[in-house]
A = this chain, B = another copy of it.
Amino acid sequence: MRIEDEIKQKKFKSEYQKMYINLVYTANRLNTQQMRMFKEFGLSVQQYNILRILRGQVPTAINLGLIQDRMLDKNSNASRLIEKLKIKKLVERKESKIDRRQVDIMITEKGLDLLKKMDGKVEEAELIDSNLTKQEAETLSDLLDKLRG
């Protein structure tokens, strides 16, 4: 369905504005879908995001600042998110030996198991939701890069 119909707005000030609104609207929808999927597994979108980042680093521990750099939502509070994950025993946290201000974080076996359980579903959702060809996905990605400048 075209964005005009989704939000029942016929006219836009410009192509830019239309694209802009379309982008925000689409991302909101994807985000809501993701949230609902992750909820089954007891995770928020950002918690999942952090676990994925940590898995990419195994077997190395990574400090909180680096996690924040890699997060999709730079504004979410990594410190508190990690705390939640620790309570669920999905990550471990320990003081860095080099710099005592830093906290090194590592995903646990339990965390890895959870991600493994989720992988299939996540990939499926990403693929099914995306009604694009591989080429179109590439073009879209390139345009987004260009948009951000």
Q: Taking the complex as formed, is A98 at the interface, i.e. its CB lies under 8 A from any CB of chain B?
A: no
Q: Are B23 and A23 in contact (CB under 8 A)?
A: yes
Q: How many copies does the complex hold?
A: 2
Chain A contact residues (Cβ within 8 angstroms of B): what range? 35 or more
Say what secondary structure dominates the interface of chain A.
helix
Q: Within the assembled complex, what's the spacing in Å between the Cα atoms of A9 and B67? A: 11
Q: Taking the complex as formed, is A145 at the interface, i.e. its CB lies under 8 A from any CB of chain B?
A: yes
Chain B residue numbers with a CB within 8 Å of A32 are 74-75
Query: Contact check: which of B1, B72, B138 meets A25 at CB < 8 Å?
Result: B72
Q: Are A23 and B26 in contact (CB under 8 A)?
A: yes
Q: Which of A80-88, A108-116, A128-136 contacts B (4 or more CB under 8 A)?
A: A128-136
Contacting residues of chain A (60-103) with chain B, CB-CB under 8 angstroms: 69-75
Closest CB in chain B relative to A27 CB, distance in Å:
3
Q: Are B74 and A144 in contact (CB under 8 A)?
A: no
Contacting residues of chain A (22-37) with chain B, CB-CB under 8 angstroms: 22-32
Contacting residues of chain A (10-68) with chain B, CB-CB under 8 angstroms: 13-32, 56
Q: Are B1 and A145 in contact (CB under 8 A)?
A: yes
Residue among A26, A75, A140 with the highest chain B CB neighbour number at 10 A: A140
Q: Are B29 and A27 in contact (CB under 8 A)?
A: no
Closest CB in chain B relative to A133 CB, distance in Å:
9
Chain B residue numbers with a CB within 8 Å of A146 are 131-132, 136
Chain B residue numbers with a CB within 8 Å of A7 are 69-72
